[in-house]
Amino acid sequence: MSARHAEILQWISSRQDDMVCLLSTLVNVDSGSYDKEGVDAVGAHLSRFFANHDLQTAVRPVEHFGDTLLVGTAAVRRGAGRHNILLMGHRDTVFGKGEAARRPFHIENGRAYGPGVADMKAGLVMNAFVLVAFQKFAPDVPLLVMLTGDEEIGSQASLAHIEEEARFARAVFNAEPARPTGNFVSSRKGGFTYRFEISGKAAHAGVNFTEGASAIGELAHKITALHALTDVQQGITLNVGLASGGSSSNTVAAKASGEVDVRFVDGVQRERLIGEIETILGRATFRGTTTTFERQSESLPLAPTEENVALSAIYREAAASLGFAVTGEFTGGCADSGIASSAGAPTVCATGPVGGKAHTKEEYILVETLSQRAAIVAAAILLLSASRKRPLPGASFFRPYGA
Task: Dump pLDDT digits (tens) for 366-389.
Answer: 999 999 999 999 999 999 988 444
Instruction: Give 79's pLDDT tier (boundaries 50, 70, 90).
Output: confident
How remote is the C-alpha of 49 from its chain's centroid?
22
Distance of CA 275 to the CA centre of its chain: 27
Q: How many angstroms separate the CA atoms of 144 and 86, rounded? A: 5
Task: Write phi, then psi, for 179 (nearest 5 degrees).
Answer: -65, 160
Residue bearing the bigger pLDDT, 124 or 401: 124
Query: In whole numbers, what is the pLDDT of the chain averaged over residues?
Result: 93
Tell me, what CATH number does 259's domain have? 3.30.70.360
**Cβ atoms of 219 and 304 closer than 8 Å:** no
Radius of gyration of the chain (CA): 23
Phi then psi for residue 43, to 5 deg, are -60, -35
> At residue 390, does pLDDT exceed 80?
no
Handedness of CA 239, 244, 245, 248 (dihedral sign): positive
Q: Do residue 139 and residue 211 come from a single domain?
A: no
Question: What is the reported pLDDT for 154?
Answer: 87
For residue 120, cis peptide bond before it (omega within 30 degrees of 0): yes
Q: Say if residues 168 and 81 touch (Cβ distance below 8 Å).
A: yes
Kindly state the average pLDDT of the residues 193-200.
Answer: 97
The string of pLDDT tens digits covering residues 276-291 is 999 999 999 999 999 9
Lowest-pLDDT range of 89-98, 175-184, 214-223, 326-335 = 326-335
Among residues of the chain, what percentage have pLDDT more than 70? Answer: 96
Tell me how crowded residue 51 is: count the other CB atoms within 10 A of its CB.
12
Report whether pLDDT(3) > 90: no
Question: Which residues share a beta bridge with 238?
Answer: 262
12 with 148, same domain? Answer: yes
Residue 350 has pLDDT above 80, yes or no: yes
- Boundary (domain end) residue, out of 299, 330, 365: 299
CA–CA dist 125, 127 (Å, integer): 6
Asked if residues 189 and 235 have their Cβ atoms less than 8 Å apart, the reply is: yes
CA distance 403 to 82: 38
Is 115 in the same domain as 216? no
Least confidently predicted of 98-102, 134-138, 248-252, 396-400: 396-400
Q: How confident is the model at residue 395 (pLDDT cuts 50, 70, 90)?
A: very low
- Please check whether residues 205 and 343 belong to one and the same domain: no
Q: How far apart are CA 344 and CA 21, in angstroms?
A: 36
pLDDT value of residue 298: 81
Point out which residues pair with 171 in neighbouring strands.
Answer: 85
pLDDT above 90 coverage of the chain, percent: 89
Report the C-alpha gap between 216 and 224 in whole angstroms. Answer: 12
Residue-wise pLDDT tens digits, 21-53: 999 999 999 999 999 999 999 999 999 999 999
157 and 34 in a common domain? yes
The whole-angstrom separation of Cα 55 and Cα 73 is 8
Range of the domain at 130: 3-189+301-385
The pLDDT of residue 103 is above 50: yes
Distance CA 124, CA 108 (A): 21
Let me know whether 222 and 148 are in one domain. Answer: no
What is d(CA 377, CA 381) in angstroms, rounded to the nearest whole number? 6
Cα dist from 166 to 162, 169, 328, whole Å: 6, 5, 21
Q: What letters, b where the CB count within 10 A reaches 16 and e where it falls short, cover 299-320?
A: bbbbbeeebbeebbebbbbbbb
Q: Do both 360 and 246 map to the same domain?
A: no
Is the pLDDT at 161 greater than 50, yes or no?
A: yes
Please check the confidence at residue 402 and state whether its pLDDT lies above 80.
no
Q: Is the pLDDT of residue 68 over 90?
A: yes
Residue closest to 87 by CA, chosen among 378, 386, 367? 378
**Residue 32 covered by a domain:** yes
**pTM for the full predicted model:** 0.86
Same domain? 338 vs 203: no
Q: What is the DSSP letter of 201?
A: B
Q: Do 274 and 364 share a structural domain?
A: no
Residues 102 and 184 in one domain: yes
pLDDT of residue 96: 96
Q: What confidence category does residue 109 fall into, taking pLDDT thresholds of 50, 70 and 90?
A: very high
Domain tally, the chain? 2
394 in any annotated domain:
no
Rounded CA-CA distance 98/147 in Å is 23
Burial of 83 (0-12, 13-18, 19+ CB in 10 A): middle
Q: Is the pLDDT of residue 82 over 80?
A: yes
The domain that contains 25 carries what CATH number?
3.40.630.10
Q: For 78, which DSSP code?
A: S
